[in-house]
C-alpha cells in the first residue's frame, strides 16, 4: 500500500465540476482582479469566522505583514512570537523591519507557552502573534489578558486552524487583527496561493484594504507605501466553492485523529496530540513525538507511508536568524520537539484501511524495536 503524506484529490473532486463552470464564466468575462467574486468570498469567510470583515490577500505571509502594519508595528519594534512555528510567522515580522522575540512552546500542546510571554515584554514590544499550531487553538484568554494589561495588539496566525474553535468561537476572531493562509494543503486550501485577514474594527479593515492595494483607495493617489497583496478572482471563486465543505472536512480530520489517538495511546514512547477541554482543534496535522523518530520515519517509508517533520530546525537556530544570537539550549522544548516530531498522513479522503495500515505499521515498528 502507498500512502502519500497528503492528497488534495478528494477535496478538489468535490468542487471540480462547479469550479469548471465558474471558471468558464470568469474567462468569458475576463474579470480577474478585484471583482465581485472576491467580495462575495470575503463576506462568506467573515461570516464563517464570526467577524465583521475579511480582506482577501495574496498569501498568508503577506496577510501577516499587512496585519502587523495595520497594528502599527514598524522598524525596531518587538513582536512576541512562538519559537515553534512555521518560519512565515517570523518572516512577516522581520520583513517589516521589526524584531521577532521568541517564546518557548509547551511540550503538551506544542503551542506558545503563554506563562512565559510576560517576561519577554519590553518597552519596545508592540504585538503578540498567537499561532494555533497543527490546528490546536492557543490559550487565547490568557494571551488577551496579558496583552490588554500591557496595551499590546494580538494577532492570530490562523493558517493551520481554519474552523477550529476555542470556548465556542472560531479561531481568527479573537485577536485585534488576524491572518490566515489558504496554501493548497491548509484546511481550506486554494488552487495556488492566497490568504486573508479577519477583523472586527472598521478602521483596521480600511487600513488593510489600503495596504493590500499599493497604499491606495482612489486610483493613482497613494497615502502610504503599500503592497500588491490582493487575492485574485479565480482563487476567490475556488475558495468560495470549498468553504461550505470545510466543517465536514474538519469533522473527517477529527475522526481520523480520534482513530489514531485510540490505537496509538501507550505505544512505545509516543506522545500524541493533547486537546484541553473547551478547545475544538481543526487537526491540520497529526503530530506524534518519539525519540526514535528517524528510525520510525524510515520504517514507515519502507512500508510505503510518507511522513513529514514539522519542523526540523527551531526558528531561533535557523541560519536566517543567526544575527539574533540564540544558541542551543535557549528554547529547550522547541528543540526537543524539532528532534522528535513526526506528522502522520491525515487528510479528507484518506481511506479507513489506509489509516488502519498506518496504525499497524507504527505498532509493528515499536514491537520490532
Ligand atoms: C502556511 C503558514 C503560513 C504562511 O502562509 P503562506 O500562504 O504559505 O504564505 C504562516 N503561518 C503558518 C503557521 C503557516 O502554517
Q: At what angle do helices 233-242 and 36-49 cross, to 10 degrees?
A: 40
CA 38 to centroid of ligand 1, rounded, Å = 20
Mean pLDDT of all residues in 20-34: 95
| Residue 272 neighbours by CB distance under 10 Å | 17
Query: What Å distances lie between residue 298 and 69, 196, 304, CA to CA?
Result: 43, 37, 10
Going by alpha carbons, the residue nearest to atom 6 of ligand 1 is 60
Its sign, for the CA torsion 48, 54, 59, 63, is: negative
**297-315: pLDDT as tens digits:** 999 999 999 999 999 999 9
**Ligand 1: does its nearest atom lie under 6 Å from the Cβ of 343?**
no
Residue keyed to cell 479577519: 198
pLDDT on residue 255 = 98
The per-residue pLDDT for range 324-343, each reduced to its tens digit, is: 999 999 999 999 999 999 99
Give, for ligand 1, the residue of 92, 159, 182, 190 to mutate: max count of ligand atoms closer than 8 Å to Cβ. 159
pLDDT digits (tens, 9 = 90+) for 262-309: 999 999 999 999 999 999 999 999 999 999 999 999 999 999 999 999
**Cβ density class 93-105: b for 16+ within 10 Å, e for less:** bbebebbbbbbbb
Under 8 Å between Cβ of 293 and 342: yes
* Mean pLDDT (whole number) for 155-159: 98
DSSP 8-state symbol, 345? P
| pLDDT at res. 300 | 98
Query: Model pTM greater than 0.95?
Result: yes
Query: How far is ligand 1, taken at its centre, from the CA of residue 195, in Å?
Result: 9
Distance 330 CA to ligand 1 centre (A): 24
Q: For residue 200, what is the DSSP state?
A: S
CB 59 less than 6 A from any atom of ligand 1: yes
Q: What is the pLDDT of residue 308?
A: 98
Q: How far is the CA of 322 from the centre of ligand 1 (A)?
A: 22
Task: Using the mean position of ligand 1's atoms as its centre, give its distance from the Cα of residue 86 in Å.
Answer: 7
> What is the rounded CA–CA span in Å between residue 251 and residue 259?
12
pLDDT tens-place string over residues 344-363: 999 999 999 999 999 999 99
Task: Indicate if ligand 1 lies below 6 Å from the C-beta of 160.
Answer: yes
Helix (H) or strand (E) holding 166: strand 165-166
Residue showing cell 499550531: 133
140 with 130: CB under 8 angstroms? yes
Q: Give pLDDT, residue 283.
A: 98
What's the rounded Cα separation, in Å, for the pair 321 and 337?
A: 19
Residue-wise pLDDT tens digits, 40-69: 999 999 999 999 999 999 999 999 999 999
How many angstroms separate the alpha carbon of residue 135 from the centre of ligand 1?
12
Whole-angstrom CA distances from 140 to 147, 154, 156, 175, 263 are: 10, 9, 9, 9, 30
Amino acid at each position: 500500500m502507498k500512502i502519500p503524506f497528503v492528497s488534495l484529490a478528494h477535496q478538489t473532486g468535490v468542487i471540480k465540476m462547479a469550479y469548471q463552470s465558474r471558471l468558464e464564466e470568469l474567462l468569458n468575462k475576463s474579470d480577474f482582479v478585484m471583482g465581485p467574486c472576491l467580495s462575495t468570498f470575503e463576506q462568506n469567510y467573515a461570516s464563517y469566522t464570526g467577524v465583521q470583515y475579511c480582506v482577501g490577500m495574496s498569501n498568508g505571509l503577506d496577510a501577516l505583514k499587512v496585519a502587523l502594519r495595520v497594528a502599527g508595528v514598524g522598524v525596531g519594534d518587538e513582536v512576541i512570537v512562538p519559537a515553534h512555528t512555521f518560519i512565515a510567522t517570523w518572516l512577516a515580522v522581520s520583513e517589516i523591519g521589526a524584531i521577532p522575540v521568541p517564546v518557548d512552546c509547551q511540550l503538551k500542546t506544542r503551542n506558545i507557552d503563554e506563562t512565559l510571554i510576560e517576561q519577554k515584554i519590553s518597552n519596545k514590544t508592540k504585538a503578540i502573534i498567537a499561532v494555533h499550531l497543527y490546528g490546536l487553538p492557543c490559550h487565547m484568554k490568557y494571551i488577551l489578558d496579558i496583552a490588554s494589561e500591557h496595551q499590546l495588539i494580538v494577532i492570530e496566525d490562523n493558517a493551520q486552524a481554519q474552523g477550529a474553535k476555542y470556548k465556542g468561537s472560531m479561531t481568527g476572531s479573537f485577536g485585534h487583527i488576524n491572518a490566515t493562509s489558504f496554501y493548497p494543503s491548509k484546511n481550506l486550501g486554494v488552487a495556488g496561493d492566497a490568504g486573508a485577514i479577519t477583523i472586527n474594527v472598521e478602521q483596521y479593515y480600511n487600513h488593510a484594504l489600503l495596504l493590500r492595494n499599493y497604499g491606495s483607495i482612489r486610483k493613482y493617489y497613494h497615502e502610504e507605501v503599500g503592497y500588491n497583496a490582493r487575492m485574485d478572482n479565480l482563487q476567490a471563486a475556488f475558495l468560495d466553492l470549498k468553504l461550505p465543505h470545510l466543517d465536514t472536512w474538519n469533522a473527517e480530520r477529527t475522526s481520523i485523529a480520534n482513530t489514531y489517538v485510540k490505537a496509538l495511546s501507550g505505544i512505545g514512547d509516543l506522545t500524541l496530540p493533547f486537546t484541553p477541554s473547551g478547545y475544538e482543534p481543526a487537526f491540520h496535522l497529526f503530530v506524534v513525538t518519539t525519540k526514535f523518530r528517524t528510525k520510525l520515519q524510515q520504517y514507515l517509508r519502507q512500508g510505503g507511508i510518507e511522513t513529514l517533520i514539522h519542523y526540523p530546525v527551531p526558528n531561533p537556530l535557523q541560519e536566517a536568524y543567526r544575527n539574533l544570537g540564540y544558541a542551543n539550549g535557549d528554547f529547550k522544548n522547541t528543540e526537543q520537539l524539532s528532534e522528535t516530531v513526526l506528522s502522520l498522513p491525515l487528510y479528507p479522503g484518506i481511506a479507513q484501511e489506509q489509516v488502519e495500515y498506518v496504525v499497524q505499521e507504527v505498532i509493528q515498528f515499536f514491537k520490532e524495536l
